[in-house]
Structure 1
Amino acid sequence: MDQQFINQLHQTVKRFRPQVLAVPTHSNLGPKHVDVSKQAQWVQNSIIKTAEKLRDALAKESHMFRGIMSPQADQLIDTSTYIPMLNKLIDEADMAFVDLDQQAALGIRNSEQLQFEIVKELWAAFSTHLGENFHARGQKNADEAIRVAFAEVYGKGERLATLLKVMRNSS
């Protein structure tokens, strides 16, 4: 087998495996599937609102750290460092929330999007390196090759018939 082709397949695994391991999908390798609308809610409630509350408390009421035994305790907590860090966290979490909320509104599930991206890249690799040999082997063999490679990336096989049909029609 062509070493460039093998390298490209390895790169596909290397590129997508971290996503498979990190994103809540139906893969058996990563976190348990969570609906994107629930992910968006979690980001808003658990990260954004909590960080905003902490930021506001540190900014407005840092004197609450003071006590008779430690009158300068608030100076031990460097709010000038933590508040900008919390602002950055809030901004990044807000961007994640918007992305997840948009994804939910459009009905795009994490699993479907990730599977599409993986199949698209695998299809391109097989088509590029095997060319006519890939397509000449027949639809069943080509589809099976993609399924086997997909399982290596995603951790388990999936029903890919619709995605494979899209790839065939776009080639």
Structure 2
Amino acid sequence: MGERLDENSEQLVFGQSALDEIRDRLRVDIGQLIVDELNQILRKYRPVILAVPTHSKLGPEHVDVSKQAQWVQNSIINTAEKLRDALVNEAHMLRGIMSPDTDKLIDTATYIPMLNKLIEEADMAFVDLDQQAALGIRNSEQIKLEIIKDLWSVFETHFEDSFHARGQNNADQAIRVAFAEVYGQSESLASLLKEMRKSS
């Protein structure tokens, strides 16, 4: 799944076996334009999957969004604020008779603005995660939906009637095969595919 072009390339491409199965399921020709668009989807989502806690085996262990928000608040924002405040108000505690200029060596004038920037950006991340939690948005379901939307669009645009003419089972299975290439593992996707059929 998600093969590389060669040993030295970081550029991901759809595996040939997946392309062959999609072709056989839908009985269509898969030209280079379609391959390019599928590869674009793979490259768009794979970095997200590798970075965000979802149920994909490729990425970090799944964590509920509300717990992610709590971690950002407790481990990053609170800790950085405590360190910043200590450097602002209590840097003299670093000093001793033998090293009266330790706080200058540590260069608190440089680190305090950096901590302020970290706190500001972590706060934005917290707000985003907190809003997701409040709206009931789950990382795993959201990324699955976005991937399926993009794949569905490519298939409908390029395969037109052939995408649906081979029957719902073949259309859904073609999406599942393509999805597995992007997400890194197979999923049932039944409810998400049902939603796509309703909206298309």
TM-score of the two chains, using structure 2 as the length reference? 0.82
Tell me whether 1:109 sits opposite 2:138 in the alignment: yes
Query: Runs of at least 4 residues of structure 1 off by over 2 A?
Result: none
Equivalences for residues 78-157 of structure 1 within 5 A: 78-157=107-186
Partner of 1:160: 189
Query: Does the residue aligned with 2:92 lie in a helix, a strand or coil?
Result: helix
Partner of 1:54: 83
Partner of 1:70: 99
Aligned AA (1:115)? K
The count of aligned residue pairs is: 171
Cα deviation, residue 158, structure 1: 1.2
Cα deviation, residue 168, structure 1: 1.6
Partner of 1:37: 66
Q: Deviations over 1:130-160 (max 9, x none)?
A: 1222122211111001000101111111121
Cα deviation, residue 81, structure 1: 1.6
Identity in percent: 73
Cα deviation, residue 51, structure 1: 0.3
Q: Deviations over 1:117-138 (max 9, x none)?
A: 1111111111112122212221
Greater shift, 39-48 or 63-72, is seen at 63-72
2:56 to 4, 17, 27: 27
Query: Does the residue aligned with 2:188 lie in a helix, a strand or coil?
Result: coil
Aligned partners of 2:40 and 2:68: how far apart in 1? 29
Query: Does the residue aligned with 2:59 lie in a helix, a strand or coil?
Result: coil
Aligned partners of 1:25 and 1:67: how far apart in 2? 48
Aligned AA (2:132)? Q
TM-score of the two chains, using structure 1 as the length reference? 0.96
Aligned partners of 1:97 and 1:150: how far apart in 2? 29
Larger helix proportion of the pair: 1
Q: Deviations over 1:70-111 (max 9, x none)?
A: 111111122222111111111111111111111111111110
Greater shift, 132-141 or 114-123, is seen at 132-141
